[in-house]
Structure formats: structure tokens, C-alpha cells
Amino acid sequence: MALVDRHDLAWGTSSRSSRLVHGGLRYLEQGRLGLVFESLRERRQLLALAPHLVRPQPFVLPVHRGDRVPRWKLEIGMWLYDILAWRGNLPRHRRLGKRGVLNLEPLLRERDLVGGALYYDAQCDDARLVIAAARAAAQRRAAIANWTRVTRLHAVDGRIAKAELEDMLTGELGQVSFRAVVNATGPWTDEVRALEDPGNHPILRPTKGVHILFRRERLGHQHAITFTSPIDGRVMFVLPWGALSYVGTTDTDTADGPEDVRTTTEDVHYLLRSVNALFPSAHLTEEDVTGVWAGLRPLLRGPEGAGPSAVSREHRIDRGPGGMWTIAGGKLTTWRSMASELMDEIGRALGQPRETRAAAHAASAREPLPGGESPTLAGFQELAEAAGLPAPTATHLVRHYGAETAAILNLLRDDPTLAQPIHPAHPAIGAEVVHAARREFAMSVDDVLARRVHLAWETSDQGVAAAAIVAELLGTELDWSTEHRQEAAAAYREAARDRYGWVPPGH
């Protein structure tokens, strides 16, 4: 088994999500009970398989007079959500009066507030979840090659049996042969389907979703908040992320492709207006935005004329004329069940016995992802602090590596200088860069700073102050020349602000 990715793992939509593993309350409104049930089952599984990356998150949902979803409807929805989460591992919702909402979140708009609910979902580290899934595959002997693009597909006797590959970092070309090939390329799905059959009709209707980041103290909230935008009644979130908060998302049709999808001033203004109406004392402006991300939802085409938010979140599995499997649509939350369903179909087509397929399905629901081997993580925090690391660094390690925190501590035993922070305003340390190169397929400074340790979004300079040290540590692991190290750091410094920061027009 082999996985190739034209960029880094999770470079696409999977590092630009709302970072929720959730049933999707709003799908209840659309009557998509099957999707909510499947998502809540997956939420339960992922909380158990990767407790360091998928964490319980309490949400406050305030209801104001005139909101699109009235209180009675919310209450029915909440009961249904609890019922569909049957035998779940999160607490049930609690109904709140106006006082109850304000006790939990005093800075929410009091005017017209009539009550609300406290409920639970899960928040995840989207990019690291993808990397963990790829590592779990590698542990079962899959070959993983990021920065490797499929450029052409070749048929033998009418069946696609070979792919031409390009190493995107070196330009080197190669070929692989296979018995079955899967196109699981999110917003690139139609582009890759065209490699099999240029006459294929598009099956996707991608929409753009943007998030903006602030310092959490600017809003002063403790919980995640679910609310409906006063501008258009869409469901949105304010989500805590350590000392930061992010707000999202937009949902608009776009002509941007997946390589160049960008946050615009209109996106930022829409999000600012929505959140300022919810937190009237915050007066957030563009100057407060410390970071942004924009992604394309790889949504299946719906009926002509349907609005972006009404497009289906379900997935679909197709087989092209040359036999290539395509899996499209769906959500991050349901990745495991989508993959399992696909592998079952492929196994059947290849004549695999039913028991083998059932065993693989059961294993994916049972075996923890790397770092998720221990359900309780407190011991690793103590271990890290006992190794002399400050408490914030220990917490950061446990949230990123779970039970594999021990692997990071082992690196420190061999080289204590790796305990040094890589950035003056962030707890990440040098050992993580070494770990990223040795175990997590990191190939560039951006791979480390964006999708492995997240300084790109978690520091006000987008991690630029760490670029040189990351290039140095990565260069040692990957055998880079001095010149290459300097170029790699400079390339990151040049691109980071534009890619991850927000520069208000005129600055």
C-alpha cells in the first residue's frame, strides 16, 4: 500500500477546517439524521483513539429574540443530538436560562438574550490528526510520500494500472504500478479524475471557508460559542485555542482553485461584524486579527440553484471507466468510516475474503492512532516536568504527542540542547523538529511550523523568528547543505506573513 500527496500531508483543506470532530448540529435542521448519527459515532471513536488530538469541548449556544432558530426548536435539536450520540462518551446538554448563559459567558450580548444551552462536542488538531492517520498506515507497512504528485495515469488492457509521479521538491520523476488506485484528493478531485478521463463531468462544487484568529482575552470567553450570524442567520463558531480564539466560518462560492484560495477583506469584515454583534464590548477590528486560514470544502454538487450552505456534506464513492476509485465529499470527522467503507469495496473487488475485510474494519475502530495509546495523559505531563521542562512546554507536548511525549523526552536525553524553545513566544522545543523529520514526514520549514507545531498561527510573527533554527535542525536530519538551510529559512520568512497572517489593506 502506498500514499502519495502532491503537497505536505494536510496541506489542503485538512489543515484549514474549523477543527471540530462533531455531529453537526445544523445538519439536524436539514433532517440529515444519518449523517449526524455517523458523525457522532465517529466522534466517540476518535475521542478514544486519539485523546491527545481530539478533545472534549463544552459549547455555549445563546439564543436571542429574533434568531433564526428559536429556543423551542433548539431544545428539540439538543435532545435529538443527545439521543443520536447513543452511548457516547461526552456529557448530555443542559438547558440554560438567560442568567445561566450570562453566568457562563458574561460578555455575550445581553440585549434580547432569552436563554440557550450548554452542550459538548469535540475539538481536534486537524493537521496532526491527518499525520497521525498516515503514520498509523506507515506502521502497517504503507509507504508514505508527501510532496509527490501523480501527473499521469496509464491504462493496461483498459484498466488504470500505472501512475507517473513527480517529486515536487527535487523534480525527479518516477512510476508506480498497482492493482487498485484511489483518488482521495479533496478539492483536487475533479482535476485527478480528468487524468483518467478528460471528458469526466465535475462532481464537486467547492465552497470557500475562512477563519480569523485573535488573542482570546479580546473576547474574554471560556467556552466555545455556537451562534447564528446576525447578517445571514448562518451557524458559526467562536472557538478557544489556548491563548487564542478563532472565529468561522464563511461559506461562499469561489473561483479560487485549491492552490491559491485566499482570505479577502470581505471575508474578514463578515466575520468581524458577526462576532462583534455577539460580543458588543469587544469592538474587534482588522488590527486585532493575528492570523487567518482559508480552505475549500470539497462538497458534492447539489441541485442547481442550491445555496452553498445547503450543499450536501455526505460522501460518495465512484469508480471511473478505467477502474480508478474516487472518494469525495464527507467531513474530517467521518474520515475513518469513509476510508473503511472504501477499503471494504476495494477488498471485495479484489476478491478479499469477507473475514479479512471485517477484521480490517474492526481494527481501525479499535487500534489507537500514534500517541493515543494511553487514555489518561496526566502521567506524561508529570514525566515531562520531571525531565526539567516548564509546565507550559509539558502541556504543549502532551497535547501534540500524547503518549509519544516519551519519544520527545528520549531525544532530550541524547541531546539536552533540544530542550531549548525554538521561538521566544511559544513553548515548542527543538526536539519536536527532530521528531517531525524522523517520524512525521516533515520535509520543509513550512511543514514543521504550520502543520506539525503550528507556530504559523500561534505566534504574532507567524513563526518567522523560528525559521532559522528549524532550518538548522531539519537540515541536520535531512542532510541539507549550509546554503540550502539558509534558503529554506529565507523562503519561509518571505511567504509566512502572506500565507498565515492578515495584513489590513493599506499597511
Which residues of the shown chain bind ligand FAD in the complex (CB under 6 A)?
4-7, 10-14, 16-20, 149-150, 184-188, 192, 209, 249, 295-298, 330-333
Nearer of residues 231 and 358 to ligand FAD, judged by Cβ: 231
Query: Are the beta carbons of 455 and 466 closer than 8 angstroms?
Result: yes
Nearest residue to 390 (alpha-carbon basis) of 429, 422, 423, 416? 429
Nearer of residues 240 and 298 to ligand FAD, judged by Cβ: 298
Nearer of residues 239 and 466 to ligand FAD, judged by Cβ: 239
Which whole-number Å values give the CA distances from 18 to 26, 272, 390, in the listed order?
14, 16, 29
Least CB distance to ligand FAD at residue 126 (A): 7
DSSP of 413-458: HH-GGGGSEEETTEEEEHHHHHHHHHHS---SHHIIIIIIS-HHHH
Least CB distance to ligand FAD at residue 283 (A): 25
* Helix ranges restricted to H, 287-353: 335-349
Least CB distance to ligand FAD at residue 407 (A): 25
What is d(CA 406, CA 194) in angstroms, rounded to the nearest whole number?
45
Nearest residue to 296 (alpha-carbon basis) of 328, 238, 251? 251
For the chain, the distance separating the N- and C-terminal CA atoms, rounded to the nearest angstrom, is 49
Least CB distance to ligand FAD at residue 327 (A): 8
What is d(CA 19, CA 184) in angstroms, rounded to the nearest whole number?
20
Least CB distance to ligand FAD at residue 19 (A): 6
Least CB distance to ligand FAD at residue 39 (A): 7
Nearer of residues 6 and 400 to ligand FAD, judged by Cβ: 6
Nearer of residues 115 and 295 to ligand FAD, judged by Cβ: 295
Question: In three state form, how does the secondary structure of 252-288 look?
Answer: EECCCCCCCCCCCHHHHHHHHHHHHHHCCCCCCCHHH
Least CB distance to ligand FAD at residue 355 (A): 29
What phi and psi, each to the nearest 5 degrees, are found at residue 61?
-120, 100
What phi and psi, each to the nearest 5 degrees, are found at residue 195?
-70, -30
Least CB distance to ligand FAD at residue 382 (A): 32
Nearer of residues 13 and 228 to ligand FAD, judged by Cβ: 13
Nearer of residues 228 and 405 to ligand FAD, judged by Cβ: 228
Least CB distance to ligand FAD at residue 29 (A): 17
What is d(CA 318, CA 327) in angstroms, rounded to the nearest whole number?
7
Nearer of residues 14 and 57 to ligand FAD, judged by Cβ: 14
Burial level of 276, CB count in 10 A (0-12/13-18/19+)? middle
Nearer of residues 5 and 472 to ligand FAD, judged by Cβ: 5
441: cell is 514526514
Which whole-number Å values give the CA distances from 406 to 129, 412, 432, in the listed order?
19, 10, 12
Nearer of residues 240 and 330 to ligand FAD, judged by Cβ: 330
49: cell is 483513539
3-class secondary structure, 179: coil
Nearer of residues 64 and 297 to ligand FAD, judged by Cβ: 297
Least CB distance to ligand FAD at residue 435 (A): 21
What is d(CA 162, CA 205) in angstroms, rounded to the nearest whole number?
28
What phi and psi, each to the nearest 5 degrees, are found at residue 35?
-65, -40
Least CB distance to ligand FAD at residue 10 (A): 6
What is d(CA 78, CA 93) in angstroms, rounded to the nearest whole number?
7
Query: Are the beta carbons of 239 and 126 closer than 8 angstroms?
Result: no
